[in-house]
């Protein structure tokens, strides 16, 4: 007698863990880039947060690239 319910639940838990890990990886990447930009802006004494914005955007682009790469990998 096969128990198909447990297999589906295991797959759901696995997918949940995978996608949660991807979300935390995105947050960490964007956060690190934005923090570095903030520190550069703070060190330069600029009143505008140019580096924070630029590096934050770069972090978003890199994190999206990493997500797409991990989702298309077999």
Question: Mind listing the pLDDT tens digit for each residue in 8-40?
Answer: 777 777 888 888 989 999 999 999 999 999 999
Task: State residue 16's pLDDT score.
Answer: 83
SS3 content of the chain, % helix, strand, coil (to 5): 85, 0, 15
Residue 12 CA to residue 15 CA, distance in Å, equals 5
Q: How many CB atoms lie within 10 A of CB 31?
A: 13
Question: Mind listing the pLDDT tens digit for each residue in 32-45?
Answer: 999 999 999 999 98
Q: How many CB atoms lie within 10 A of CB 41?
A: 19
């Amino acid at each position: 007698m096969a128990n198909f319910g447990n297999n589906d639940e295991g797959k759901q838990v696995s997918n949940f863990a995978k996608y949660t890990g991807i979300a935390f990886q995105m947050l960490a990447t964007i956060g690190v880039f934005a923090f570095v930009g903030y520190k550069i802006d703070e060190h330069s004494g600029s009143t505008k947060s140019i580096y924070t914005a630029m590096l934050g955007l770069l972090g978003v682009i890199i994190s999206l690239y990493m997500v797409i790469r991990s989702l298309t990998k077999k």
